[in-house]
Amino acid sequence: MLGLPFAIESMGLGLGIFMLILSGLGAYWGLHLLTLEGRYTSKGNASFYSLALLVQPLLSFRCLPSLP
């Protein structure tokens, strides 16, 4: 909460608002992808780990920690 005014002060108002909008769009896109992934997995199992298992099972096994 306190980092946002400092970031806008150091970058300027125009670039600060642009970065705020860009960060919001990035968060929205990640949540959107997670909800789309929820359609392809079993109910109650929507996570980025289960998405990685669907897309690339071998890579997700090596890179991501296993979940119970």
pLDDT tens digits, one per residue of 27-58: 999 888 777 777 776 666 667 777 777 777 76
How far is 39 from 34, CA to CA, in rounded Å? 9
Convert the pLDDT of each residue in 3-22 to its tens digit.
888 888 888 999 988 988 99
Question: Does any domain span residue 31?
Answer: yes
What pLDDT, on a 0 to 100 scale, did the predictor assign at position 26?
93
DSSP 8-class letter at 66: P
How far is 41 from 49, CA to CA, in rounded Å? 11
Number of domains comprising the chain: 1
Q: What is the pTM of this model?
A: 0.58
Tell me which residue range forms the domain holding 37.
3-63
| Average pLDDT estimate for 53-68 | 62
Question: Does any domain span residue 68?
Answer: no
What pLDDT, on a 0 to 100 scale, did the predictor assign at position 34?
75
Q: CB within 8 A of 50, min separation 6: which ones?
A: 37, 41
Q: At what angle do helices 3-11 and 13-38 cross, to 10 degrees?
A: 130
